[in-house]
Chain A
Amino acid sequence: MRLAGHLKCSIRNIIKYGFIWLIICMIAGGVAAYELTTVTYMFGGLEIKRIYYIYKNLHDSTQKQPEIAVFGDSAVMNGIDCKLLTAGVAGNPVAWNLSSTGQYVSESMMITEELPDTVKTIILGVRVTLLIKTPDELSQTRAIPYKLYGFRISPDVVRPFEENGLEETVRSLNSSQFANVMEARSWVMNSVDTQVRKVLRKDLNLESATADMFYPSPYTKHVSEETLMKTANKQFRRRTADMGRINPAMRNLYDAFGEMAKKRNCRFILIVMPEQPLHKKWDDPEFYASLNKAVERFSAESKFEVWDFRELLEGNYFVDLVHPDSDGAKILTGAICEKLNRGRD
């Protein structure tokens, strides 16, 4: 009896001060935030918005669906103009530029899963770096928009990463809905940085780039010669002869992407994007000799086409160290059209 009385007294003490209710209120606030996360997520960053924009367009049956899909990172966003591609290829097939900033192969593969059956050609633009270095892991943060917006992630997408030991990528692709929402909370912090960057970087055309299916081109303004050299000094590392080879894991991933395209009855073309000639000042000449051989061999041995445009553009066709300008994009797109048309002949 005394024990019951004591217990009752203790519980009354806890309830009296509203302690439990305060905790319940906090939990309620947390639950409300959890429920709101998915809805508010798309307001987070510009990259997130672009993924959503791509998804929305791929599932919009009211507009003419593409026949050519172009993938890649910001170099492709800036370097391939799909309006020109549509106009330049015989028969004027609709081409969409589905690239996004820092797009990983896994991301391109996830978008490919959502492509309509109208797509007959898949073009993947890669920079030299993405041929020679070990593939980067896809972080959960990058995987979230795809998972929250409903992109399908089939075993075909996950398998190549499992086979190549990219464990973090596999984890990100297989993460639970709860884990995704928890990770998605980061949009709050990211959006602050993105918004301020928008104000500070007048040279970027980020807002309109998110909502453009043809030529997103986020980098519009040429950086000065001085900034170019300063950035090159900071970022460029000397590439030596032993680095001039195709990374085996990267190659496996491109092979898997090619297989995926083949399953969809699509022609798969891998484009090696033009490289800023300034690189040559830093690199060993032997690097280029061995890389040329490696690319040739890669092209000959692959089951898909590899088009090498590394030497296509002069330095003045780049806005910075990586991104071609609109004139550069015209030249590159023209070269792609020419090759595509030649293939049709």
Chain B
Amino acid sequence: MLFYTLPFFVFFIILTGLMCVLERYDYRKIVLLIASCVFYMWWNPIFILLLLFSIVLNYLVGLGLGKTDRVLWRRLLLVASLAGNFGILAFFKYANFIQDNTLVILKMLGYHPSWTTLNIILPIGISFFTFQGMSYTIDVYRHKLGICRSFLDFALFKAFFPQLVAGPIVRATLFLPQLDRPNKLCFDRRAFALFIRGLAKKVIIANNVAYFADFVFASPQLHGSLMIWLATFAFYVQIYCDFSGYSDMAIAVARMLGYHIPVNFRRPYFALSPADFWRRWHISLSTWLRDYLYIPLGGSRKGTLFTYRNLMITMLLGGLWHGASWNFVLWGGMHGVALVVHKLYVQVKEKYIGVGALDENPVYRFFCFLLCQYWILLTWIPFRVLNTNDMLFAMKKFVFFDFAVDIADKGLGEARLFSTVLILAAFYLVHTWSQFRKGLDIRLAKMPVHAAFVACVVFGFVLFFLWPSKAVPFIYFQF
């Protein structure tokens, strides 16, 4: 069930209707939990059992951790939780990947075993809710969070539908306290404007530019550098608008229901360095990786080389989190290399030029911006093009520009080159404007009522024409 489809609107109207009628907060939570289960089961009912298993496992481990102070027992309980969570993730997400790679290795060694392919279906949102569960048990283990005794509260924390299938990965420290006090439905203009922002990003921008990116990347070897550049740029915008659009809508829906979900993006395409990018992109994942992987590995406390190693491990695993493919590992590795090189550069710069030198220089900042965004663009190629030969070809054409600029016959049929360029230009205009001035959603939330009405009529008009007839699922649903 997608946030922008008719079934969701009907579902949401029924849900909010029930929430309005129910006065007791406990009843509201029960309704919300049932609604969340329905939301999840809409995709494939059987996998609710998996979600239920994850809820029960983490809940029981949490209770167990609350009952004992013995280090050994606590460690065992934590291991049980991690094994359970990683176990379902390994089976449902990585089993095919492990099997395929094992087969390749065995063939290289001269063995030719006959295996039955498992063909496991990847349950939607599995990476998100397992990471969320692990963050709870780790926090309880570290005494950073009190245990949650209410099964209803814990189940709602795990299954809360706005963030269930594609994040943000909400931490228990943030969400569980919200369940202790009565929620208040909040149909304010801010929530509305945020939802509209997400809808515009997903439907108007991401879904429309996807046509062109799909057209070129379906067979990159038929195209020259210019088309590869444009398609990469289209995907760069598509994935941002797709994912951040979903996050905006999730935050808005949660706000309407009276809950707060933290922001997941802070205009990452204005980042000036790789580190800056990861402070702005998929914040809930990057902070998760920082708190539960990078810092436990030693962070930057054990010397320079260990810091680089930790960065690389974190980014490689972060890449693998996205999907069971070497492409995502490469993607993570490229970001890891960028972080290491940047860290090294900062150290050298601070040593020879001085701390904070050049940081305020606009020319230097612009150069940093271009370099950082160039690298980010390049990293999206392995993320998008899964076939190795196609990927290498596209990367080669991206890096070594061939100057084969023949676009006259490209604006036909499926390609939609020129309309895509127009949408990309419009996106960058609004995005840049929002970076330096207030965002359009904030303006919509604050403008006089009559002006907001006119803006909504215009938006409805534009949305009707630019809403593609082909439904494009959210990219991050596959993770």
**Which residues of A does B touch, CB under 8 Å?**
2-3, 6-7, 10-11, 13-14, 17-19, 21-23, 25-34, 37, 182-183, 185-186, 188-190, 192-197, 200-201, 234
B interface, how many residues as a size bin?
Answer: 35 or more
Q: Using Cβ atoms and an 8 Å threshold, which residues of chain A touch B462? A: 29, 33
What is the chain B residue whose CB lies nearest that of A230?
B406
Cross-chain contact A197 with B461 (CB below 8 angstroms): no
Q: Which of A2, A22, A182 contacts B192 (CB 8 A)?
A: A22
What is the chain A residue whose CB lies nearest that of B449?
A18
Judged by a CB distance under 8 angstroms, whether B56 is at the interface is no
Cross-chain contact A18 with B189 (CB below 8 angstroms): yes
Q: What are 12 A-to-B residue pairs whose CB atoms are below 8 Å?
A: A7-B21, A22-B456, A25-B454, A26-B459, A29-B456, A29-B457, A29-B463, A32-B457, A33-B461, A185-B466, A189-B466, A190-B419
What's the minimum C-beta distance from A151 to chain B, rounded to whole angstroms? 21
Contact with A along B170-190 (1 / 0, CB 8 A): 000000000000000111110
The 6 closest A-B pairs by CB, nearest first: A29-B460, A33-B464, A25-B456, A26-B460, A10-B20, A29-B461
What's the minimum C-beta distance from B453 to chain A, rounded to whole angstroms? 5
Given contacts A22-B192, A26-B460, whether A197 and B185 have CB atoms under 8 Å apart is: no
What is the chain B residue whose CB lies nearest that of A40?
B465
What's the minimum C-beta distance from B45 to chain A, rounded to whole angstroms? 29
Q: Which of A13, A22, A26, A186 contacts B469 (CB 8 A)?
A: A186
Q: Using Cβ atoms and an 8 Å threshold, which residues of chain B touch A19? A: 187-189, 192
Cross-chain contact B409 with A201 (CB below 8 angstroms): yes
The CA of A244 and the CA of B456, in the complex, are separated in Å by 59
Q: Which of A17, A26, A197 contacts B463 (CB 8 A)?
A: A26
Q: Using Cβ atoms and an 8 Å threshold, which residues of chain A touch B208? A: 189
Interface centre among A3, A18, A37 (most CB of B within 10 A): A18
**Which residues of B does A touch, CB under 8 Å?**
19-21, 23, 185-189, 192, 208, 222, 407-409, 411-412, 415-419, 422, 449, 452-454, 456-467, 469
Cross-chain contact A17 with B412 (CB below 8 angstroms): no
Given contacts A7-B20, A22-B192, whether A200 and B407 have CB atoms under 8 Å apart is: yes
Q: Which of A25, A186, A196, A197 contacts B460 (CB 8 A)?
A: A25
What is the chain A residue whose CB lies nearest that of B457?
A29
Cross-chain contact A29 with B189 (CB below 8 angstroms): no
Cross-chain contact B469 with A183 (CB below 8 angstroms): yes
Interface centre among A27, A34, A189 (most CB of B within 10 A): A189
Cross-chain contact A201 with B23 (CB below 8 angstroms): no
Given contacts A10-B185, A13-B187, A197-B418, whether A22 and B452 have CB atoms under 8 Å apart is: yes
Q: Using Cβ atoms and an 8 Å threshold, which residues of chain A touch B186? A: 13
Cross-chain contact A34 with B23 (CB below 8 angstroms): no
Given contacts A25-B457, A29-B456, A32-B457, whether A6 and B23 have CB atoms under 8 Å apart is: yes
What's the minimum C-beta distance from B144 to chain A, rounded to whole angstroms? 36
Q: Which of B21, B411, B452, B461 contacts A193 (CB 8 A)?
A: B411
**Given A29-B459, A33-B460, A193-B418, 19 more pairs with CB closer than 8 A:** A13-B185, A18-B452, A21-B449, A22-B192, A22-B456, A25-B460, A28-B457, A29-B461, A30-B464, A32-B461, A185-B464, A185-B465, A185-B466, A188-B466, A189-B416, A192-B419, A193-B419, A195-B418, A197-B412
Q: Which of A2, A29, A185, A194 contacts B23 (CB 8 A)?
A: A2
What's the minimum C-beta distance from A249 to chain B, rounded to whole angstroms? 23
Q: Using Cβ atoms and an 8 Å threshold, which residues of chain A touch B418? A: 192-193, 195-197
Q: Using Cβ atoms and an 8 Å threshold, which residues of chain B touch A14? A: 185, 187
What is the chain B residue whose CB lies nearest that of A6?
B23
